[in-house]
Structure 1
């Protein structure tokens, strides 16, 4: 038996935690089928994604056809968020 320890001192986003655990599963298709039959009207989809150069799995959750908008940063835009301001400081 293997043991997985999660240290979430700052918390963990549900979709990110689910995606990380999903990547460890040997039978991902069976898991998705089970997830999509748990709650009527809720559909979970896993897709490969690259955000700011980091590849991984993104879990999308649709509830009765509605999905939250993602606030993920596009490739390279992280730096522009913090560089587009006045430089009145050292």
Structure 2
């Protein structure tokens, strides 16, 4: 299936687009998704820097464990995996 985007890439595109918060709300049906989207945007803005889960969790107003769980539910990857994907996308740029 050459040329087809992988599910992970599709989720990435949907969540990081202009309607990412709406997509997240539909996926999870909770306000937590909206807050995690704010942390995702912060991660995107500072993808080249080392970021701690505690910092992202604070942006999302969640505990680190709840943030990690919600983040993975939204993106199907950990915050570190997501950051690596951002870095690879930038390098491929």
Bigger RCO (CA 8 Å, 6+ sep): 2
> Which has the larger strand fraction?
1
> Which has the larger helix fraction?
2
Structure of greater Rg: 1
**TM beyond 0.5:** no
